[in-house]
Structure 1
């Protein structure tokens, strides 16, 4: 969720680059920098901390280049130092980058063996040397980047400039957004149209997998296969004071598509990417002596907490009690002095959750909070804050905040497991690596969005919809049903698949779609048995799974194919299709997707 800007101008661009970065400060960052092409050479200025530090550096050492790139960085690989700040460069290539390069260790070893010298701890520097390695083969910058992109694994957005090329900038996106701004004899690039608002209102958004060659007189765009493509130019209504929908019809759609980027940003706050280890804040309590964790939340945040319960109990072998805050606040449960109470909230202002927090505090509990707003009441009244770095979420139905909550809870579960001696170094490495791969997998799901529109057409005709899941897929079934109810106004219920025969099976007939969240995990065969019970009674099964439909031994009405991934990270991946099904159904129904009736973004009353 860091900020990228680029300008190919007709005058010195350093001041405009810094101003554009300032409009992206809401995304959060810990260092900043810019680089320009000056008299054929690459020049760079970087600084730790806020943009004012970079401005001070530029006053002392101005940059006068007419082509440049800038970046505000949230540290992922390596500490937030000037050495690790973007742009990264050598004498030929300068790069700014959002996202995670999953195979940077392999690239670093390969390139190091060829004599390339790495000066930072970042994954981004590998991109610089990969592109340089392609240039060394005699390729043009355009061909070199095209070849280099095939060597990079992960979710990323890139802006690249080259020594000796004052009229050239290359951009690429895979999982992180990029917008191109059109000027008169000038071109602009930004990770958000907000950054470009003072310069132009003519915007082209790159599609997933696109890369683009920018020059002063225009832009050429290519898809992931290298085919020249046209993308529409639109009039942006973004201003420096507003969050923009970009090229999406609704904020909810934009926020669903932002998930690869914001999950990367959130994970980077808790994971040492270079070492593949988890680092969570000191909870101020001995994890080995801890006997129980008490959790509470409301709505979607509660379902995130349910997944967290599964993770913490399985990996940290620590009992977890969880309840919805509106019930727990009146039960006033007895809590052991010195225990840990954990609260999950997007806004940090949810009245019921805040009331339970205050009860727990009165019971001498240690208070930890997973929140998206660090200045909120819940954050201020907690002993430890575990921030979700989702950025502003405008749509009332929570999407990216939910998956960022899951990201934090996954890291917390691993941190507790390691501290309690329940996880070996090798196991931690494998599970962290699985988390690092999540943004890439979600990008893959989002590339196949068309299939959701067809299934949504089926759902829009239903009066009732059932969602089924087992294990960590059960909270996803609950969340899927909630999303459909919230924004399409279709009645839906989520059930643990094993509970089907204890009542809900009476509802099933040929008019009831049954959405089954069924990754091929250790519970898959059990879930298959429940699907067969549905099929026998004529239910329309919509299977969300990495298993083929043939594997379930019964007819399915539709199949959403999922990438095969680690069982640990499946809740993060399977959250996306249930969001997309709800979104596209609501669009067909013609409801107000971003502001559904009777709902508010932050519930600050009882």
Structure 2
């Protein structure tokens, strides 16, 4: 999602901040901006719609400073534009601010405090800086005005905030709630960033900020106070200097980093495959080739196969094309009877999966058209298929695939939308995929921000478990299969994903006292049936963890999912399952990123 960097005390503020923004480009963004001050009465604000490279072009040789803030924005409130880009400025030109997150009561705050204020843009973020200006005019100090502003943001708001007072350009004011911020400790200066990767060129020592904390940061001092105003002392943590650790940034494991990156991947895919007016950026030749087919055959292995199961729902619902999903290793040697005009879709993270390549070779020999959906451009399956769509998920290092799985589903949704619209189906026209995937991204962010609650569930139910079950119905069953794979491959807990109604046809014999059963419920039409299945396993002594959509949740449900489009629930339901797998593995002392007997790219049949 949006990226933040800031620094105080370094003479090369512009170079340092631009470098930091560049390291955060993977998050996806539509505008960028920078504010620097030389503490001698000169300051500069530069903003632009578009890429960081465009921002660099606008920064003149005279732009310099020793303190500054910079930001990459993904549009939520207000269109991508220079006016809506950060940093934002108070009406009197005194305060400059960047913000990650969402202010849910910004309209109410404008009505209560800011009716006479002239706003430059349409963002919720601008309300924050205007509030600081408002309270400062009432006689409060900068810190008091900043703290007062934070206090009137409602509980549903999220924020990572950096602010500079041009009348006191020696201090960065920082606030954080459910939006990551780190302080980087340097020699003679200090930095702030939303991801350690942005500042690894100047420091490897960081301080993590906690929700509700306020910080006054100068070149030589770090003053942290909690939500009650009490001073906080916190040690730095060190990011190792070896290359692999640098790629992990401040994370202990790639898997957790890649789970956290999924909201940004959703935004990146929207950016790559849709225009601002909602139209699709997918090759018309590909659309025509698929429309000419009488049946789709999705071929994949492992996690990609599970993404294909969700894709089956998307293609049939939005494009109304009959779709089959096949395990690559089975299809290669036991090919089913094909339709007259088949079209093949290969899902693969690496683009090198041997079983899928074997099928593609047969497909090419038969002269059938094909599409590879992959994370790696110019990989074997990408080169040899007729068409390619990229996942734009960034390198996925952990063996257990997380962000590639959700990216595959998102690309399938984008393609299904494009097909359905081109074919004239109303369901596809009504499906605002740009909006819906942005909602998904926000929902994912909510869930990854609650990871420590899920860590506690893993400790309670899975840390010592021998076996476990995931259950669900319809699209939740598709998710359950992938969730079970995640848990078994990194924690070595024998886990199976079952259609909830099938348990009583034999498998319920394996349920005994203390068996973890994780239930996924996101579909209104079958929610009550899955609830009944929960009761059946509870009666046999199972410990049930319920993962439930907000509008179906009960007070006893442990994990509540944000509301998203019914056909995209897999994208949010899988997040807690990934986290449960991660923490179960960590708590058992296993190598999370490199599970035994597994490799990232399976290049043998």
Task: Please classify the TM superposition score into its range, dividing by the shorter chain length.
Answer: 0.7 to 0.9
* Aligned position for 2:125: 127
Change (3 A) 1:482 1:198: same
What pairs up with 1:507-526 in 2 under 5 angstroms? 507-519=510-522, 521-526=524-529
> Contact 1:291 / 1:318 at 8 angstroms: preserved in 2?
yes
1:555 maps to which residue?
A: none
Rounded Cα–Cα distance in structure 2 between residues aligned with 1:439 and 1:228? 34
**Alpha-carbon offset, residue 390 of structure 1:** 2.9
Q: Aligned in 2, Cα 1:342/1:505: closer, same or farther, shift over 3 Å? A: same
Following the alignment from structure 1 to structure 2, what is the Cα–Cα distance between the partners of residues 360 and 154?
51
Residues 193 and 238 in structure 1, CA contact (< 8 A), matched pair in contact too: no
Greater Cα offset, 335-344 or 290-299: 335-344
1:181 Cα shift? 0.6
Match of 1:373 in 2: 376
Of the structure 1 ranges 105-114 and 413-422, higher mean CA displacement relative to structure 2 is found in 105-114
Q: Which residue of 2 aligns with 1:440?
A: 442
How big is each residue's C-alpha offset from its partner over 1:275-303, in whole Å with a ceiling of 9 and x where there is no partner? 6x463423522476654332122211211
TM-score normalised by structure 1 residue count: 0.82
| Partner residue, 2:397 | 394
Corresponding residue for residue 593 of structure 1: 592
Post-superposition offset of 1:468: 0.8
Distance 1:46 1:380 in 2: 39
CA–CA distance in structure 1, aligned partners of residues 221 and 296 of structure 2: 57
Matched residues in 1 for 2:340 and 2:328: separation?
20
8 Å Cα contact 1:280/1:412 also seen in 2:
no
C-alpha contact 2:300 2:347 (8 A) present in aligned 1? yes
Q: 2: CA distance between counterparts of 1:102 and 1:235?
A: 35
Which residue matches 1:605? 604
| Corresponding residue for residue 568 of structure 1 | 567
Distance in 1 of aligned mates of 2:320 and 2:54: 46
**In 2 relative to 1, CA 50–354 (structure 1 residues): closer, same or farther, beyond 3 Å?**
farther
Which residue in the other structure is 2:327 paired with?
Answer: 324
Whether contact under 8 Å (1:388, 1:404) holds in the other structure is yes
Inter-partner Cα distance in structure 2 for 1:192 and 1:154: 20
Give the match for residue 18 of structure 2.
18
Q: Indicate conservation of the 8 Å contact 2:512/2:542, yes or no.
A: yes
Residue of structure 2 aligned with 1:260, choices 260, 263, 270? 263
**Residue in structure 1 matching 2:425, options 400, 403, 422:** 422
5+ unaligned residues in a row in structure 1: which ranges? 553-557
Q: In 1, Cα distance between the equivalents of 2:179 and 2:576?
A: 18
> Which whole-Å CA distance do the structure 2 matches of 1:289 and 1:140 have between them?
68
Range with greater deviation from structure 2 (201-210 or 394-403): 201-210
- Taking the TM superposition and a 5 Å limit, the aligned residue runs for 1:224-239 are 229-238=232-241
Q: 1:341 to 1:459 in 2, by over 3 A?
A: same
Indicate if the aligned counterparts of 1:158 and 1:173 stay in contact, CA closer than 8 A: yes
Does residue 43 of the first structure (1) align with residue 44 of the second (2)?
A: yes
Cα distance in 1, alignment partners of residues 323 and 269 from structure 2: 23
Q: Contact 2:297–2:323 (CA<8 Å) still a contact in 1?
A: yes
Supply the distance in 2 between the matched residues of 1:581 and 1:183 (Cα, whole angstroms): 35
Q: Relative to structure 2, which stretch is displaced further, 192-201 or 412-421?
A: 412-421
Distance apart, 1:527 and its partner CA? 1.0
- Superposed CA deviations along residues 114-159 of structure 1, whole A, max 9, x for unmatched, are 664546xxx7x54235422541343655534763682797766554
Q: In the alignment, is the contact (CA less than 8 A) between 1:482 and 1:492 conserved in 2?
A: yes
Hey, what's the Cα distance between the residues in 1 that align with 2:549 and 2:228?
A: 25
**In the TM superposition, what whole-angstrom CA distance separates every residue of 1:317-357 from its partner, at most 9, and x where no partner exists?**
33221112222233455666875432222222222223334
Mapped contact 1:102–1:437 kept (Cα < 8 A): no
Distance, in Å, in 2 between the alignment partners of 1:246 and 1:42 is: 31
| Greater mean deviation of Cα atoms: 583-592 or 11-20 | 11-20
Three-state SS of the structure 1 residue aligned to 2:169 is: strand
Residues 273-422 of structure 1 correspond to what in structure 2 (within 5 A)? Answer: 277=278, 279-284=280-285, 285-286=287-288, 291-332=294-335, 340-422=343-425
Q: Which runs of 5+ in 2 are unaligned?
A: none
CA distance in 1, matches of 2:553, 2:473: 20
The DSSP-based 3-state class of the residue aligned with 1:573 is helix
Offset of 1:580 from its aligned partner? 2.0
> Secondary structure of 1:468's partner?
strand
The structural deviation recorded for 1:261 is 3.6
Output one character per residue of 1:201-227: Cα deviation in whole Å (capped at 9) or x when no partner: 320123456554432233344667887
**What is the deviation of 1:576?**
1.6
Q: Secondary structure at the match of 1:467?
A: strand
Give how far 1:486 is off.
0.6
* Deviations 1:253-276, CA, capped at 9 Å, x for gaps: 33333333443443444456x76x
Superposed displacement of residue 107, structure 1: 9.7
For residues 435 and 80 of structure 2, what CA distance do their matches in structure 1 show? 22
Structure 1 CA distance for aligned equivalents of residues 384 and 163 of structure 2: 44
Structure 1 segment 523-602 matched on structure 2, within 5 A: 523-546=526-549, 559-566=557-564, 567-602=566-601
RMSD of the TM alignment (CA)? 4.1
SS at match of 2:495: strand
